[in-house]
Structure 1
Amino acid sequence: MAKTTGATALMALDACALDLETTSLDASEARIVQIGALRMNRGKIDTNSVMDKIIDPTVPIPSSSTVIHGISNAMLRTAPDLKKAWQGLLEFIRDRVLIGHTIAYDLTILAAEAKRHDLEWQKPRSLCIRHLAPLALPDLHDPSLDKLAAWFGIHVEHRHSALSDALAAGEIFLKLVPLLEESGIRTLAEAERAILLRSTAGLRQGQEAGWERPVADPSDSVLSGGIKNYDTYAYRHAVGDMMTRNPVVVAPKTSLLEATKTMTARGISSVLVAEPAKTGQPLSVYGIVTERDVMRQVAQSGAAALKKKASAVAVSPLASIRQNAFVYRAMSRMRRLKYRHLAVVDEEQKLVGMISARDLLKLRSDAAIALDDAIGEAENAADLANAWGTLPAVVNSLIQENLDAHKITRIVSEEIRSMTERAAILAERDMKADGRGDAPCPYTVIVLGSGGRGESLLKPDQDNAIIFEKGDPDGPEDKWFAELGARMAAILDAAGIPFCNGGIMAKNAEWRGSVALWESRLDEWVSHTNPQNLLNVDIFFDQAAVFGKRDLSISLFRKAFEAGSQNIGFAKALGANVDNISSPFNMFGRIRAENNRLDLKLHGLFPLVAGTRALAIRHNIAQHATRDRLAGLLTLDKGDVGLLSRLMEHHAFLLGLMLQSQEREIASGRKPSNFVDLGRLDRSDTAKLKDALSDIGYIPNLVHDLMF
């Protein structure tokens, strides 16, 4: 079960619906007589995982209470007391958000009983449907359990039975979730914040009654902190830094004995089985033979197994990972697939090395995979949302560890790419299940913008496109991919990556097409520099493939830079985009900001990224990341090289400020924005920000100098 954070979507919560029946409605004296609870897993109630216990309160139950819940003193003869049931309750609700109607009362009773009996108790995060309902149903004036159940057509079989009431509360919560999402309340922290801001009268009544608060304050630093105690090596290094290059290859007809001798002589734990590669061609790999495969064969067949051909024993298909992926992803993929070896491939899916569990032994794997491979095994949008919800807390921890912001944004981008890839896989699977068949031709899904550059922040939207091998606009191929794009977009939106406001999604005709159509679009964009074409270029020239036949994307990416570099007027028009950005400084040299908040994307990141992109296109520096483009410009040894070097540092600094600000906003239940609160910056960071913005003001001059 993934760690629940404030960023976890309500639809993806691992929760527990809870209700208590007590000896009295007076929380100061009430004792528990019945516990009803059932688990809720990512939008589904698990009716097989329930807790239904009558508890001996060790005091007589008043007849007035028995009339309500039906539990009499005679029914307590074989019931355990609370001490015997307590540990089971804690295990049942551990790491889950409590859901209930008037949950503040139940939390108050639990805290009082724990204190009374000297029992362990730590208040969990919780949500009260009595307070959530008015946020989603403003026309419902009586949010009682009975009225809410009637509103949604939910039958409560045994009212005032703890388990029955808990089930009703859970079902009502699930009905409220999509309505809350329509109101802009999507995550746990957003729900907590909304209750605290908009339910003041109800909260005050509970406080006057001496009840616990029904929700936590999401801005509490204890809640908003990241995931602790892990080794940041797995986030600092790519797989390519640790892999074994030039993996050992044996021919398919090699005997298992010879393969074993090769492994022993080389001190390695596996060999690849493949035909010898022709010059310039990638290996055609049959599979992999490992030490464990040899041991299994010998255990089954004895010495005769050593005469078997390697091709007959090799395990395939060979699981792979990109060399630019971070080590944490290799570790989590091995755990998920239960493999000890992964092939390492480059961006063109060509084999470049191997990485094994032995290579990773020095790392503490359980801690290092706080961002695990849950995306890769997600079966629906709720699973994806659950995995995505862990990201802001991990980012917080990486910031606290002073990890380079360029690497943190690469990690965020890796997760966005993985989310898009998995959404494509799920969409394709669903299309097959609906009788729409396989893809009509090879294709690739690409991400655009910051996701393609590897510079994503925590305010994502969908920037994606599809390139397919052949087919006409509105033809059968295009219609199939239109449906795929629409399903992808719906999955991503439900999982927490919202629709692109600008419509840059493969479900829209202008963001999908055949290779030939994309090439004609590129020609149009480069030849006619109108504002819309320049906007498209800003997005498309940052693209990266995430799924399918990736070489379709790679080839188009290179052609785009080649064409752009040869059209000086086009490159010049791109550079002019940064000429009209208003200065963030006033006449006294102070930063101008509305309510002490500065739009750091507008005044900092946009001119830096756009100016660098224009120069990279002009000089055919076909790199994705702004940092790599700046490095490529530095190798030209032209213009103000000192400014170029400083811009690299400024870029990381601005990304770090944005990440910190957005993580705080998400954790406290606010929507992430492009604004930074200048009041939260210390003197050193304020000085760095002024230096960065001052240098960025010279980018138009730099672009003009280096354009020709």
Structure 2
Amino acid sequence: MASLLRATPLFAIHGVALDVETTGLDVRRARMIEIAAIHLDRGSLDGANAFHSLIATDAPVPAAASAVHGLDSAALTGAPDFTILFDGIAQFLAGRVVVGHTIGFDIAMLRREAERIGRGFEAPPALDIRLLAQLAEPGLPSYSLEALGSWLGIPPQERHRALGDARAAGLVFLALAPRLRERGIRTVGEAISASRRVTDAMTAAAPPAWELHSPAGADDPLPKLDSYPYRHRVREVMREKPAIVAPQTALAEALRIMARERLSSVFVGRAEAALEGLAILTERDVLRAIARDGAAALAQPAAACATRPLLAVPADAFLYRAIGRMSRHGVRHLAVSGPDNALVGVVTTRDLLQLRASAAVALGDDIDSAPDLPALATAWARLPVVARALLTEDVPARTIAAVIAREVGALTRRAAMLAEAELAAGEAGPAPCPYTVLVLGSAGRGESLLAMDQDNAIVFAEGEPDGPADRWFAALGRRMTRILDEVGVPLCKGGVMASEPDFRGSVATWRRRIGQWLSRSSPKDLLNVDIFFDFLPVYGDLAIAEQLWRGAWLAAREQTIFLKLLAESAGEPAQGLGLLGGIRTEEDGRIDLKRNGLKDIVATARLLALHQGAPGRATQERLAALAASGAGGGEDLAAFADDHALLLSAILQQQVADIAAGQPPSNRVVPGILGKRRQRELKQALGRLAILPELRRNRLGG
């Protein structure tokens, strides 16, 4: 699938390192006499999965060629013909990104040999490490395979033989991946696009093998995607007030309750217990007990037959999350949790009868269960594909943004879990006290798009700055943010990350910090407020975050002077329109719609929500609450809600197109991509921004 391939991080590719040896360098006349390929999986060369063979040929091996690779006609005696090898080669390369040094030549030779035996050969997607090295380090004196190995500290391999060169090419590629990431080239698509721009591209004898070749229609990733699971949340279909029976309740009594209430399951445990203290008893559990013990099973306590651990999904999760979890674990029931991790409902396959778990639907659960970085990166790479499919299905952009934000939170949670496990297994040991991980900004609001960087924080129960607990959480923050960066969410240039002291601390430290922000109100403090007040807990002790959240909103509402300073710091909106009313674009024909529009609407909604004391998270939710408050400006606020949706949609549409073209996504949009009607709507939205300062002043009382 070309779209998924383009979004895959370089270090996590499903690839193969390839090299061939030939009788010469002219593709039209040369013959292939040796081939080697080694699978690249999970960020390493898989030496156990290698394909290597000499190849018989009726052509002579020139002395000049033999002097390079040491192969002559005698060495090829008894080797198989290419006709015999072709199917095995094709199968070994199938579905993989081919990596090699001047790889265009190798692929051109494969195509030529296939033509000689009357077989078709579709060139696979490929990455040339010579071109990638030029992108990673433009000033190297040589880009030969030997020079690249020496530069990267790779031990010498058997040179000018296919297996040694394939191994060397694979190792060079793996070493280049983090260097390319530092240059902003993270994915296969971005590497392909950047390679095209390298001036010393491949020669005419080796056509551009780095092009992505896909069967017709393969670039439409989910043509039959059912968008319903992405539009609706678990709370809309769950059964509320699920039945709970005591652990010692006889199985027969539990079965009578299920029959009377027409239930397929009951929960087992104390009614006031959190999810961790509950189990679930389903019809299948009862049948298994009877099949094992006969009628005597009905006298057994329900706890003896119930299933643990209890699988759950949050009530505000999108339905695709529930579907994916059921599919992965092969279950028909999920507990539904509320904000305090209490049981609030149950959702079953019967509730989701018309929905099925596709590869896209399973995305969320694949992130949740990824055992390591390559698996996490592979799952994360599917997100742009899902976004593109949902956009094609006319799912509203703000709903897609909420899906993306949900997965940003899931990715952050999984990164924290992997980092925590690494620390616990090492000298640092387990966490010194309860803590929670937060996502901030757009991820906290549920408004993430595909051009993102990290905004996260850690709150722990107790400990002073630079004390033992703080140092443990500093290590956790560094590892967590590095994992996110490697997977595909870049480090925040502004340092809004749990690895930094300003965004890590105990509950007491955070309370002091928030108090200083509200009373001191320096420009940096005001910026921190903008980011922090949209936070959402995604991992750990969520009660810690809930207390901090409510206390922070209450404190901010009481600081009138602070709120007015916050309004002044927002300033005048950027001028997105020119003197004649046209959309003001930069030299490349694009306009940054985050800077010109989106940030002003988001900041105004947050500010006025703080003033009113309505701590909703999403901008749409805040604007709706403000419009319904009766404090004035309701029509303008409703219009800004529509404008916010339009800006999200325009940016997302451009990001999807840029990713498909192998370009890093950004917030910069070519207006022409929107069509004439939406361009007119965009002009109206950009023009309406001018009234935001007055709206803020009116609401704040001067």
Q: TM-score, normalised by structure 1?
A: 0.92
- Taking the TM superposition and a 5 Å limit, the aligned residue runs for 1:544-583 are 544-583=536-575
Aligned equivalent of 1:629 = 622
Q: 1:97: Cα distance to partner?
A: 0.5
What is the alpha-carbon distance in structure 2 between the residues aligned to residue 75 and residue 302 of structure 1? 70
Determine which of 400, 403, 407 is the counterpart of 1:408: 400
Q: CA 1:642–1:139 in structure 2 vs 1: closer, same or farther (change >3 Å)?
A: closer
Aligned equivalent of 2:608 = 615
Q: 1:452: Cα distance to partner?
A: 0.6
**Structure 2 SS opposite 1:107:** helix
Residue 243, structure 1, aligned to residue 238, structure 2? yes
Q: CA 1:534–1:142 in structure 2 vs 1: closer, same or farther (change >3 Å)?
A: closer
- Taking the TM superposition and a 5 Å limit, the aligned residue runs for 1:435-446 are 435-446=427-438
Letter of the 2:424 partner, please give it.
K
Residue 499, structure 1, aligned to residue 494, structure 2? no
- Kept in 1: contact 2:323–2:356 (CA 8 A): no
Aligned equivalent of 2:189 = 189
- Kept in 2: contact 1:578–1:699 (CA 8 A): no
Q: CA 1:3–1:285 in structure 2 vs 1: closer, same or farther (change >3 Å)?
A: farther
Query: Unaligned 5+ residue runs, structure 1?
Result: none
Query: In the TM superposition, what whole-angstrom CA distance separates every residue of 1:39-97 from its partner, at most 9, and x where no partner exists?
Result: 1113111111122244455x455465667463647856573652x44333333222210
Q: 1:99: Cα distance to partner?
A: 0.5
**Structure 1 SS opposite 2:269:** strand
What is the alpha-carbon distance in structure 2 between the residues aligned to residue 606 and residue 507 of structure 1? 25
- Kept in 2: contact 1:16–1:93 (CA 8 A): yes
What is the alpha-carbon distance in structure 1 between the residues aligned to residue 494 and residue 215 of structure 2? 35
Residue 214, structure 1, aligned to residue 215, structure 2? no
Q: 1:165: Cα distance to partner?
A: 2.3
Residue 456, structure 1, aligned to residue 432, structure 2? no
Q: RMSD of the alignment, in Å?
A: 2.8
- Taking the TM superposition and a 5 Å limit, the aligned residue runs for 1:508-519 are 508-519=500-511
Q: CA 1:191–1:224 in structure 2 vs 1: closer, same or farther (change >3 Å)?
A: farther
Q: Percent identity?
A: 41
- Kept in 2: contact 1:231–1:368 (CA 8 A): no
Aligned equivalent of 2:13 = 13
- Kept in 2: contact 1:56–1:76 (CA 8 A): yes
**Structure 1 SS opposite 2:395:** coil
Aligned equivalent of 1:309 = 301
What is the alpha-carbon distance in structure 2 between the residues aligned to residue 656 and residue 157 of structure 1? 51
Q: CA 1:69–1:477 in structure 2 vs 1: closer, same or farther (change >3 Å)?
A: same
Query: In the TM superposition, what whole-angstrom CA distance separates every residue of 1:580-633 from its partner, at most 9, and x where no partner exists?
Result: 224322332223222232221122111100111111111111100001001111
Q: 1:662: Cα distance to partner?
A: 2.4
Residue 229, structure 1, aligned to residue 224, structure 2? yes
- Kept in 2: contact 1:453–1:624 (CA 8 A): yes
What is the alpha-carbon distance in structure 2 between the residues aligned to residue 46 and residue 482 of structure 1? 34
What is the alpha-carbon distance in structure 1 between the residues aligned to residue 696 and residue 166 of structure 2? 64
- Kept in 2: contact 1:7–1:389 (CA 8 A): yes
- Kept in 2: contact 1:66–1:72 (CA 8 A): no
- Kept in 2: contact 1:618–1:707 (CA 8 A): yes
**Structure 2 SS opposite 1:395:** helix
What is the alpha-carbon distance in structure 1 between the residues aligned to residue 266 and residue 85 of structure 2? 55
Residue 97, structure 1, aligned to residue 97, structure 2? yes
Query: In the TM superposition, what whole-angstrom CA distance separates every residue of 1:681-703 from its partner, at most 9, and x where no partner exists?
Result: 32111101011112222122222
Aligned equivalent of 1:44 = 44
- Taking the TM superposition and a 5 Å limit, the aligned residue runs for 1:553-702 are 553-595=545-587, 596-702=589-695
Q: CA 1:217–1:576 in structure 2 vs 1: closer, same or farther (change >3 Å)?
A: farther
- Taking the TM superposition and a 5 Å limit, the aligned residue runs for 1:109-508 are 109-155=109-155, 158-198=158-198, 200-203=199-202, 206-207=203-204, 209=205, 211-216=206-211, 226-277=221-272, 285-369=277-361, 371-508=363-500
Q: 1:421: Cα distance to partner?
A: 0.6
What is the alpha-carbon distance in structure 1 between the residues aligned to residue 319 and residue 3 of structure 2? 20
What is the alpha-carbon distance in structure 2 between the residues aligned to residue 341 and residue 161 of structure 1? 57
What is the alpha-carbon distance in structure 1 between the residues aligned to residue 214 and residue 162 of structure 2? 32
Query: In the TM superposition, what whole-angstrom CA distance separates every residue of 1:121-153 from its partner, at most 9, and x where no partner exists?
Result: 332210112222233344433323344344445
Q: 1:225: Cα distance to partner?
A: 5.6
- Kept in 1: contact 2:61–2:72 (CA 8 A): no
**Structure 2 SS opposite 1:247:** coil
**Structure 2 SS opposite 1:685:** helix
Q: 1:239: Cα distance to partner?
A: 1.9
Letter of the 2:227 partner, please give it.
T
**Structure 2 SS opposite 1:99:** strand
- Kept in 2: contact 1:322–1:345 (CA 8 A): yes
- Kept in 2: contact 1:443–1:466 (CA 8 A): yes
Q: 1:158: Cα distance to partner?
A: 4.2
Query: In the TM superposition, what whole-angstrom CA distance separates every residue of 1:328-359 from its partner, at most 9, and x where no partner exists?
Result: 22222233334332211123222111223343
What is the alpha-carbon distance in structure 1 between the residues aligned to residue 117 and residue 614 of structure 2? 70
Q: 1:222: Cα distance to partner?
A: 7.7
**Structure 2 SS opposite 1:482:** helix
Q: 1:223: Cα distance to partner?
A: 8.3
What is the alpha-carbon distance in structure 1 between the residues aligned to residue 231 and residue 208 of structure 2? 41
**Structure 1 SS opposite 2:45:** strand
**Structure 2 SS opposite 1:324:** coil
Moved segments of 4+, more than 6 Å = 217-224
Q: 1:571: Cα distance to partner?
A: 2.4
**Structure 1 SS opposite 2:346:** strand
What is the alpha-carbon distance in structure 2 between the residues aligned to residue 601 and residue 221 of structure 1? 35
Letter of the 1:35 partner, please give it.
I
**Structure 2 SS opposite 1:6:** helix
What is the alpha-carbon distance in structure 1 between the residues aligned to residue 208 and residue 452 of structure 2? 32
Q: CA 1:182–1:570 in structure 2 vs 1: closer, same or farther (change >3 Å)?
A: closer
Query: In the TM superposition, what whole-angstrom CA distance separates every residue of 1:344-395 from its partner, at most 9, and x where no partner exists?
Result: 1123222111223343342131254263422222233333332222222222
Q: Which moved more, 1:493-502 or 1:183-192?
A: 183-192
Q: CA 1:308–1:522 in structure 2 vs 1: closer, same or farther (change >3 Å)?
A: same
Query: In the TM superposition, what whole-angstrom CA distance separates every residue of 1:486-509 from its partner, at most 9, and x where no partner exists?
Result: 221221122221221221112222
Q: 1:5: Cα distance to partner?
A: 2.5
Q: TM-score, normalised by structure 2?
A: 0.92
